[in-house]
Amino acid sequence: MPPHQRIEFRAVMSRTFALAALLPAAIIVAGCGGGNDADVVAGKQLFVKNCGSCHILNHAGTKGTTGPNLDQAFQRAEKDGFGESAIRGMIKKQIEYPNREKALGGIMPAKLVSGQKAEDVAAYVASVVAKPGKDTGLLANAVPAASSQAAVEKNGALSIDADPNGQLLFTASKATAKAGKITINFDNPSGVPHNLAIDGKGKTPIEPKGTKSFTANFAPGTYTYYCQVPGHEQAGMKGTLTVK
């Protein structure tokens, strides 16, 4: 884990323990808006879309590395028997008032989601964080899996897009094309900044929501395309282009 991530992880852990000291208040916060009125299916969808690019949460299948691993951050609280309501309150508080001190590496914007959406996210995360196993039932299918189909070049154009649900994946992990001049079209429908790059051939700008492209000559061979945002390639946002 890079130094800045270790700093932020320690900061999150210290805030977790500080909030634990305010357990009754956390329970009250969790209760506001209703203990059972939260939609955990919507909460999972919102978490993956808005938070998954930064945080690891095993049940959600997210692999972000910019922020702390939530399963690790709340592991102690889970072992110490803090109930789901208390953990939900802690998470809700973090959504509303995240650490923003640059010295501690804080980068999460305040109220990334708000109102009922924040309740839904907090309820979902609290129900699964630091727990073994996988989501089942409706939760298992709450976020559609990225397409496993290969992208195929047509008339000199090849389209490879970012996952629209916020996962750190392309819609195709494999692509094929004929040798020659190829235009790579990249669409990012999510609000998470992404790009597509092929070393020695070109890259699109790193930005949320937009369609960009670049053109280059490709000789027969294999090429790796990937997202240049730190941590995204390592989390799985990469693929192989085979040119024949």
- Residue 100's pLDDT is 55
Beta strands (DSSP E) in 2-63 are 56-57, 62-63
Separation in Å, CA 13 to CA 45, 75, 186, 187, 220: 25, 10, 38, 37, 50
Cα torsion 99, 46, 54, 6: sign: positive
Contact assessment for residue 204 and residue 195, using Cβ atoms and an 8 Å cutoff: yes
- Tens digits of pLDDT across the chain (244 residues): 444 444 444 444 454 444 444 333 333 333 333 346 899 999 999 999 889 888 999 999 998 878 889 999 999 888 888 889 999 999 999 999 887 544 334 578 888 899 999 999 999 999 999 999 999 999 999 998 766 689 999 999 999 999 988 889 999 999 999 999 999 999 999 888 999 999 999 999 999 999 999 999 999 999 999 999 998 999 899 999 999 9
pTM of this prediction exceeds 0.75? no
> Quick one: tokens of 36?
């059972």
Domain ranges of the chain: 3-140, 151-243
Interhelix angle 84-96/3-20, nearest 10 degrees: 120
Mapped onto helix, strand or coil, the DSSP state of residue 111 is coil
Secondary structure E strands in the chain: 56-57, 62-63, 151-152, 157-159, 174-177, 180-188, 197-198, 202-203, 210-218, 221-226, 238-243
Q: Which residues pair with 182 in a beta bridge?
A: 216
Residue 189: other Cβ atoms inside 10 A: 17
The CATH number of 3-140, from 3.10.20.30, 3.40.630.10, 1.10.760.10, 3.40.50.300, is: 1.10.760.10
Cα-based angle 138, 143, 147 (whole degrees, multiple of 5): 130
Contacts (Cβ under 8 Å, ≥6 apart) of 42: 117, 120
Q: Does domain 151-243 have CATH number 2.60.40.420?
A: yes
With beta carbons less than 8 A apart as the criterion, state whether 162 and 195 touch: no
> For the chain, what is the radius of gyration of the CA atoms?
20
Report the C-alpha gap between 167 and 144 in whole angstroms: 10
Nearest to 238 by CA among 219, 222, 221: 222
Largest CA distance in the chain: 66
